[in-house]
Every structure is written in C-alpha cells, then in structure tokens.
Amino acid sequence: MAADPKTRSEIEQLRDDGAETELELRLKQRIEFGTAGLRGRMAAGFACMNSLTVIQASQGLAKFIKTQRPEIASQGVVIGHDARHNSDRFAVLAANAFIALQIPVWFFDQEAPTPLVPFGVNHFKAAAGIMVTASHNPPQDNESLYTGYKVYSSNGAQINRPEDGEIAQSILENLEPWPTAWEDQRPSEYLHDKSYRELLPHYVKRVEQYARSTVSDWKSPRPFVYTPLHGVGGLVLPTVCQSLGIKNFVSVPAQEKPDPDFPTVKFPNPEEAGALDLAMETADKEGKTLIIANDPNADRFAVAERVNGKWFLFTGNHVGVLLASHVFDSLDMTTDLSKTTVLTTTVSSGMLGSMAAAKGCQFQETLTGFKWMANVARDLEKDGQTVPFAYEEALGYMFPSVCYDKDGITAAAVFLAAEAKWRDQGLTIYDKLQQIFATHGHHETMNNYFRSPNPELTIKLFQGIRSGSFLTDKKLGPFKVLRWRDLTEGYDSASSNNKPDLPEDPTSQMLTLWLDRGVRFTFRGSGTEPKVKFYIESHGDSLDDATKAVCDAFMAISEEWVQRYTPSMMCSKQIPTSSGHVLELDQ
C-alpha cells in the first residue's frame, strides 16, 4: 500500500525533534466529521486535513451510499474543488473511493465556485456532492493552508442530522485505504471528467433567467468594480454578467485570477477589515462608486458604496434585507403569499420577519448555517410552500430557484438587477436601505466575538452564566430580561412547556435573550474557531436610540458575564456597529 511520503516525513520530523505536544495534538484525536463535513488545517496527522483523512472520509461516504442508499448509488456523486493548495489532489483521491465501489463520479476537472456542486447534485440527480474548499476560516490560521470537505445530500442541501452521524460511523469502519486509494486519476467508465464543462452553461443560464425574472424591465447597473479576492468567482461571474449584457465593470487586476497564496490580502474574507482596500483603491482610480465582491470560493457576496465621500461597507444583514426587499417586490400578483416563506437564522436580523409580515408572507427562523435553512426549505416545499429566499448575516444568501446553499454568484446577479431598478427610481443602495429602515424601524446590529483560548474556558463561561441570577431576577445590567432561550439545555421561558421553538443541541453552547429597548442577542461558542461570538440587534425608532441600545447591551454582556466568569477572555478594543459607529473599549 502506497502512502503520502510528505506527510509521513512531517510526522517523523516532529518525532525526531521531540515535539511531543504537537504530535499529541495531531495524532491523539481524529478530525471530526459533522454537518460541516471536514475542515481544518492542512498538515500531517489524523486531526488535520491531508490525503489520508480525505481518503478515509471518502471511503466512509462511498460505503454509506452503496449500502444505505443503494437505490440511488448508481446516480453518482458530484465532486468539485476550488483553487486552494491541494484541492485538486484531494478531489482526485475522493473520486477514487467512489470509483472503487462502481459509483459514477461527476468530476470537475477545473476549479469552480462552491454553488456549482449543490446545483450539480440537482442537475445530475446525484446521490451526493462533495466540494473541497475552505470557508470562513480562523484568522489566526494561515488561510492558504486551511481547507475543508463539504458534503451535500441527494436533495442538494448540506448533510444534517442524523445523516452526518451515520456517515461518521461509516468512516470509522473504513479507515484502511483501499487498494486504489492513492492512485492518480485514470480513465474509468465511472469517471465523467468533463462534467464541469457540461454543467457550467446550465448554471449560468439558470442564474441569468432567475436574475431577469426579478425585474419587469431589465436594465444594466451603474459601473462597478468587482473582486473575487484571488478566488474562483472571477472564473464565472464575468460570464454571468456577459449573459446579462452587463459590460460596465472592471475587475481588480491583482485579484482577478485564482491564487491560493492570497498575496494582496491578510485574510480573504470580505467581512474582515481591509479585505476590500485594493478594490476601493481601484474604484477611486476608475471613478466608480460601487464595489461588489465574492469570497475565494464564491459562496459569499459583499457590497460597498461611496456614501458622502466615504466608502460604506454594507453588513450581511443590510444586504440580506435589501435582497429580500427586491425579491418581495418581484413576487407577482398570482403568487399566494400565505404559502410563501422566507428564512433566516437565529443570529441574523429580525427585520426580515417584520418585512415578511408586512408583505403577508410567512417567516421562519432556523439554527445557524445553511445546512439548516436549505433542509428546512426542502421540507417546506414538500408541504406546498414556496421559499424564494434565505440568508444569514455572514454574507450568505440562498435562492432555491438556483441551488440549496449560499450562492455568491447568484446573489451578485440579483443584486445588480436590484441596483439598476433602484437607480431608475432615483435611489442609491444606501438610500434604499434607509427607506427600508423608515418603513420597518431602524435595526442596528453589533456582531463580534471574545477570544477563547480553549473549549474548557468556553464551557466555564456558559456554566457561570447559567448558574447566575438572570432568570430569577430578570435583569442583565440596565436591561429587563423579557425572554431567555437556551438551545444547549433545551429551555425557552416564553413557551408554555418551556421547550424551545428550535432544535436543541447539547454539543454546542448557545443562548438567546430578548431584552427591553428592542434588544435581542445571541451568545454562542463557535464550533470551528476559538471564539465566543455575540450577535446583538436593537430595533428602534431612530439610529441614535438603536445604536445606544446595542452598545449598552454589549457592555452588559462584557461586565455581567465575561468579566465576571472568564476575565481572561478578550475582545477587540474597537467594535463597530452596522451603521459605522465604533465602540471604543479601554482594556
């Protein structure tokens, strides 16, 4: 049996150097397979992403499909990859496992945006999909050395419970690499290696048709600058724009081609400060006032606009409600709005619910992540509901008419259609956002995190919170506690039986509080990063009132919870709100 000499020598070098702590971190526990599939640092060891762990995951998934889904196994799996280091190699190793069990593989022989895989699962009616990519990774990691293995079920949505657990068990039962596991790709009757070229025109056509369907009179947007942040979006979005007749844009030259080393950005996530600096420089040089961006695997989408001489970066919640407003406007008179549902997650803005109620549509909140929203959307559709749109605050937007996952390419096309419509009405994007606030009240948000060096400290913090007097006293700092929901322990103070309206998850830490002054916030431990995240929102009549409320809520969380139970946890010294106000902390 062949093995990977590079990772083997890496472990041997650590052994020779006496790096016992590092060896224990890499070898003591296996990388965990869950609803996010696999993701982690690329390095040698069972706890990391490498050829062996990809082979093992693929063998487990292939065996699961062959034995537990035999009626659809012959429909094959879609396997794609982005442009990161080793992504193409990992995709080949993944394909070997399925071919070994005579399961057809719809293989992407070139790098592609993530949304193409869930789209491909539905297009080919496949049994599953795999995308080798990284997404939303820890800033302290070297971004170019981080990757993941994302798995989709036969419905085109990410796997969820209990399927993830069943696949994880199958992986443990198939750890020994099969005879052909390490081979390079070679021709096979089960390998369809031209699948991407076959699929891409269908995807572009679907995106074009959907974007055009959201307006009664198609018009091109104003001139703009586009950046794919050294990712794969630049390989597809210009083609989509061409199909829509959009020509008045320029790409950031230094960032338009895929580069796994991301040489011009410290952290290639458009949510992060500084990620769009080069795009802003390009726009200023070109005299353009609009920027759109994708993250490197093109499933996220971001927008910036020059407002009063300065660049304003719209938050994920801003873009979410702007897109929702446009989608609501596009629903024609024949649509039964009572059977139309929009979705968002518990960490996103509540404004979508207000907008849906005003329109006469249904609204539903889910747990965090598109694995929840996509599967909920599928379930709603089975019950006769239409789900035109879903979003999460981390710059993710889903249009089920195209695919059942966040899709930065479709989001860009739809947003450009909306921008042209608003411009025709005499509105900038920022003007349209203020118009929405004037109608539904100002929603100010503050999303950030405390750094938690280890899971034990995170658990200590939440244990301290739960042992406090917040429920009995119904107070948190200057606020009255109106409702308390604990999805870790399955409790909700607002329900008649104290059971929550969302699935409980004892393996994670997650609390949501509703306070007076229109404040709601969620406090949760990250499952993939050394952070405790908070998402604060205030709904007020004015920007000043809403801003003060979110800042006061943050100070209450910091003083009453974090400083009391885990004073070693730290936060940024400057925390911005969604309107651009910055809370300065003295630490």
Average pLDDT per block of 10 residues along the chain, 587 residues long = 80 93 92 84 93 97 97 98 95 98 98 98 98 66 73 96 93 96 94 97 98 95 98 98 97 96 91 93 97 97 97 96 97 87 95 95 94 97 97 97 98 98 97 95 93 91 91 91 95 93 89 96 86 94 93 96 94 89 81
Amino acid identity, position 1: M
- The interaxial angle of helices 51-68 and 87-100, nearest 10 deg, is 30
Are residues 145 and 291 part of one domain? no
Answer yes or no: are the C-beta atoms of 350 and 441 closer than 8 Å. Answer: no
Across-strand partners of 260? none
Centre a 10 Å sphere on the Cβ of residue 495 and count the other Cβ atoms it contains. 12
Are residues 184 and 239 part of one domain? no
Are residues 165 and 78 part of one domain? yes
Across-strand partners of 243? none
Which DSSP string corresponds to 387-401? Answer: ---EEETTTEEE-TT
Which DSSP string corresponds to 11-35? Answer: HHHHHHTT-HHHHHHHHSSPPPPBT
The two tokens of residue 122 are 């539905």
Amino acid identity, position 318: H
- The interaxial angle of helices 20-27 and 5-16, nearest 10 deg, is 140
Rounded Cα gap, residues 502 and 533, in angstroms:
19
Instruction: Map residue 349 onto helix, strand or coil.
Output: coil
Q: Which pLDDT score, from 0 to 100, does residue 1 have?
A: 39
Report the b/e string of 434-473 with b at 16+ CB within 10 A: eebbeebbbbbbbbbbbebeeeebbeebbeebeeeebeee
Per-residue CA distances from 434 to 204, 223, 443 (Å) = 32, 22, 10
Q: What is the CATH number of the domain that holds 281?
A: 3.40.120.10
Which DSSP string corresponds to 426-470? Answer: T--HHHHHHHHHHHH-EEEEEEEEEE-SSHHHHHHHHHHHHHSSH
Are residues 447 and 429 part of one domain? no
Are residues 170 and 297 part of one domain? no
Amino acid identity, position 128: A
Rounded Cα gap, residues 411 and 196, in angstroms:
21
Contacts 24+ apart (CB under 8 A), 379-385: 380/341, 384/339, 385/339, 385/340, 385/341
Indicate left, alpha or beta for 384 from its phi (over 0: left) and psi (-120 to 50: alpha): left
- Segments forming the whole domain that contains residue 183: 5-193
Rounded Cα gap, residues 301 and 371, in angstroms:
18
Are residues 368 and 276 part of one domain? yes
Pairing of strands 574-576, 582-584: antiparallel
List the end-to-end C-alpha distance of the chain, in Å, as a whole number: 56
Instruction: Single out the residue in 440, 461, 483 at which a domain terminates.
Output: 440
Half-sphere exposure of 496 (CA within 13 A, CB side): 0
Q: Which pLDDT score, from 0 to 100, does residue 169 have?
A: 96
Answer yes or no: are the C-beta atoms of 502 and 511 closer than 8 Å. Answer: no
Are residues 98 and 211 part of one domain? no
Q: What is the pTM of this model?
A: 0.94
Residue with tokens 């993250």: 295
Across-strand partners of 396? 300, 392
- Given CA atoms 12, 13, 17, 22 in this order, what sign does their dihedral have? negative
Q: Which pLDDT score, from 0 to 100, does residue 334 have?
A: 78
- The interaxial angle of helices 429-440 and 316-330, nearest 10 deg, is 80
Indicate left, alpha or beta for 540 from its phi (over 0: left) and psi (-120 to 50: alpha): beta
Centre a 10 Å sphere on the Cβ of residue 335 and count the other Cβ atoms it contains. 13
Are residues 348 and 229 part of one domain? yes
Contacts 24+ apart (CB under 8 A), 2-8: 2/182, 3/52, 3/182, 4/50, 4/51, 4/52, 4/182, 6/44, 7/43, 7/44, 7/45, 7/50, 7/51, 7/52, 8/44
* Active-site residue, 135 included: yes
Instruction: Single out the residue in 390, 420, 440 at which a domain terminates.
Output: 440
Task: Give 162-220 as a 3 state SS string.
Answer: CHHHHHHHHHHCCCCCCCCCCCCCCCCCCEECCHHHHHHHHHHHHHHHHHHHCCCCCCC
Pairing of strands 191-192, 146-152: unpaired
- Given CA atoms 16, 18, 19, 20 in this order, what sign does their dihedral have? positive
Are residues 556 and 436 part of one domain? no
Residue with tokens 């068990």: 169
Q: Which pLDDT score, from 0 to 100, does residue 139 have?
A: 43
The count of domains in the chain is: 3
Are residues 416 and 336 part of one domain? yes
Q: In what order do the strands lie in the sheet with 390-392?
A: 362-366, 341-345, 390-392, 396-398
- Given CA atoms 132, 136, 141, 142 in this order, what sign does their dihedral have? positive
Which DSSP string corresponds to 215-261? Answer: -SS------EEEE-TTSGGGGTHHHHHHHTT---EEE-GGGSS--TT
Are residues 233 and 96 part of one domain? no
- Phi, psi dihedrals of residue 11, rounded to the nearest 5°: -70, -40
Task: Give 103-119 as a 3 state SS string.
Answer: CCEEECCCCCCCCHHHH
Across-strand partners of 519? 515, 538
Are residues 188 and 138 part of one domain? yes
Instruction: Single out the residue in 407, 440, 473 at which a domain terminates.
Output: 440
The active-site residue out of 58, 87, 135, 144 is 135
Indicate left, alpha or beta for 462 from its phi (over 0: left) and psi (-120 to 50: alpha): alpha
Q: Which pLDDT score, from 0 to 100, does residue 135 have?
A: 63
Q: Which pLDDT score, from 0 to 100, does residue 587 have?
A: 56
